[in-house]
């Protein structure tokens, strides 16, 4: 059986809230068996925020307490911050592009959205996450930093960054998504 480093922590909390089995916790949280197994193993990166919120509610915890649990085992704080990153990744990769489009097209309806993301900029800086590239920037393709939209793009080919990637020091959290051309209407 695969190692499940969080079992003892979760079982203690289950006793407190009156859940007698893993099946009872799964049913109370309304999550799949696979999702519960991922939590028990400390592999939270593939879970949706909604699943973690349901699990926290079933354990009568706030989401922060549940996330701290993943940082309290032997995996360390870096892994728990990467779990948080995976939860935020869709927003983080789309937001810089939306901001750049709004700056280039001031009549675009989302112009007022930019101010809402200032706190996100501060959070990224606090966590030490650095963007890989700038949206719509032309750069030479680097397979270590970029994810191409076509398989025939070679190292050094000129590409445009469609969606930024993120790194923390030398660790690439997600590569920047690149293309040979800009989206229609942008130049």
State pLDDT tens for residues 129-183: 999 999 999 999 999 999 999 999 999 999 999 999 999 898 888 899 999 998 7
DSSP string for residues in 113-159? GGGGGHHHHHHHHHHT-EEES-TT-EEE--TTTEEESSTT--TT-EE
- The pLDDT, as a whole number, for residue 177 is 94
Check residue 83 and report its DSSP letter. Answer: H
CA dihedral 77, 83, 87, 92 (to 10 degrees): 60
- Look at residues 91, 105, 98 and name the one whose alpha carbon lies nearest to residue 135: 98
State pLDDT tens for residues 92-125: 777 788 778 778 887 877 666 666 676 677 778 8
CA–CA gap between residue 2 and residue 182 (Å, rounded): 45
């Amino acid at each position: 059986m695969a190692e499940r480093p969080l079992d003892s922590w979760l079982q203690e909390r289950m006793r407190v809230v009156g859940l007698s089995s893993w099946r009872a916790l799964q049913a109370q949280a309304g999550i799949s068996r696979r999702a519960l197994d991922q939590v028990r193993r400390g592999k939270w990166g593939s879970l949706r925020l909604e699943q973690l919120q349901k699990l926290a509610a079933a354990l009568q915890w706030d989401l922060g307490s549940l996330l701290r649990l993943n940082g309290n085992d032997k995996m360390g704080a870096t892994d728990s911050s990467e779990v948080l990153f995976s939860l935020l990744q869709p927003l983080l990769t789309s937001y810089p592009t939306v901001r750049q489009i709004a700056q280039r097209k001031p009549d675009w309806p989302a112009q007022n959205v930019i101010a809402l993301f200032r706190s996100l900029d501060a959070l990224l800086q606090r966590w030490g996450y650095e963007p890989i590239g700038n949206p719509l920037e032309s750069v030479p393709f680097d397979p270590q930093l970029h994810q191409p939209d076509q398989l025939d793009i070679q190292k050094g080919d000129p590409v445009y960054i469609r969606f930024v990637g993120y790194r923390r020091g030398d660790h690439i959290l997600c590569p920047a998504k690149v293309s040979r051309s800009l989206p229609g209407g942008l130049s």
